[in-house]
A = this chain, B = another copy of it.
């Protein structure tokens, strides 16, 4: 079981408020890949030490995935949104029930992120009224009814209502999971790479750095017809083209100051085609260089935006990039002296990290503890995110 850090600000507040109740929870997440639901059954203590008891995943039926993607591409009508909201509630409920059967007990509560189908957190208005908004579906009343367990969800709405971007929310859980006793970078390398900086020297902050696996996967698919560079073997067999790498580093996004977010609206197939024009001829060198870009953008971001605020003793890697030895070699080369760890070193399977994070956010909702980090989301104030449907 994870032991809490004595210095954690959150734990301190918690102790001050005399809230020590241990609760069991199911956390559930369905990400933007829209392939299904990941869930974990966890025991959370009042000091935020925790233990994951079981995990479970289910896939969406093909027709459901298609309809969610249609909705996410703004091609749903009112009826489809209305029905999908309940259908997903039934599926989240089913996933939770299967995990309850596997664990052999009902949890005290369920926390569900829901399925995002729209996210418009900035400068929207209708008739002069603020319309900044987000939409996660999978109704919590349906989950509560299906499972007979009190269910918390719809977390992002409150942060947006409070002037934030409703994201990122995981850094709050990172604080609870990893504590702030030594300065750490929780470095996720998914399609996009993003970091949460946890340090006793500064407020927790987080931002999107740049392409994680996205450009690597694109070129590996194009030149080698493989879905990804297994263990970074292709990259390790090539040579880094320093000229092309320097060209790539001129992307203006990398120089922007945090808080900042990016995604497939910038680093997409079109972007890959554009940068390919100046690439080396050797295909392995392309992969070696574009893999070095992932590592170098992370290192540069630390130097520009992190080190002025705090040193970093440890990097804790998460996401698919964990398995790419060329990325790890790059990080060691560009950030010498910093220890590199993985989530597994902390007993956490990354696949269920977000599910765990939402279980912790839900714990706070029920205890009425503020659970957004304004420094990360841009909210005007700390708020209690999450809506509650009682079991009965």
Q: Does A160 contact B (CB under 8 A)?
A: yes
Q: Is the CB of B74 within 8 A of A74?
A: no
Contact A134 B388 (CB under 8 A): no
Cα separation A368 to B63 with both chains bound (whole Å): 37
Question: A142 vs B158: C-alpha distance in the bound complex, in angstroms?
Answer: 6
> What is the chain B residue whose CB lies nearest that of A158?
B141
Complex contact B133–A90 (CB within 8 A): no
Q: Which residue of B lies closest to A146 (CB)?
A: B161
Using A82-B134, A390-B368 as known contacts, say yes or no to A145 and B126 having CB atoms under 8 A apart: no
> Within 8 Å CB of A118, what residues of B?
78-79, 81-82
Q: Which residues of B contact A161 (CB under 8 A)?
A: 86, 89, 139, 141-142, 144-146
A34 on interface, CB distance cutoff 8 Å: no
A350 interface residue, CB < 8 Å from B? no
Shortest CB-to-CB span from A68 to chain B, Å, is 10
B389 touching A158 by the CB < 8 A rule?
yes
B78 touches A135 (CB 8 A): yes
Number of copies: 2
Q: Which of B76, B127, B146 contacts A78 (CB 8 A)?
A: B76
Residues of chain B within 8 A of A133, CB atoms compared: 82-83, 85-87, 139
List, in ascending order, chain B residues with CB within 8 A of A127's CB.
61, 63-64, 87
Stretch at the interface among A256-264, A351-359, A379-387: A379-387
Kindly state whether residue A167 has any CB partner on chain B within 8 Å.
no
Which of B87, B157, B389, B392 makes the CB contact (< 8 A) with A131? B87
Interface residue? A370 (CB, 8 A):
yes
Q: Is the CB of B154 within 8 A of A141?
A: yes
Min Cβ gap A34→B in Å is 14
- Chain A, 22-45, CB within 8 A of any chain B CB: none
Contacts A133-B83, A142-B157; is A370 near B392 (CB within 8 Å)? yes
Instruction: Knowing that A64-B129, A86-B131 touch, tell me 9 more A-B residue pairs with CB under 8 angstroms.
Output: A61-B129, A71-B78, A81-B81, A87-B133, A91-B129, A141-B161, A145-B158, A146-B161, A158-B389
Interchain residue pairs with CB less than 8 A apart (21): A61-B128, A67-B126, A74-B77, A74-B78, A74-B79, A78-B81, A78-B135, A82-B120, A82-B135, A83-B131, A86-B130, A86-B132, A87-B130, A133-B139, A141-B157, A144-B161, A145-B162, A154-B387, A365-B390, A387-B387, A387-B389
The 5 tightest CB contacts between A and B, nearest first, are A145-B161, A86-B133, A141-B157, A82-B118, A82-B135
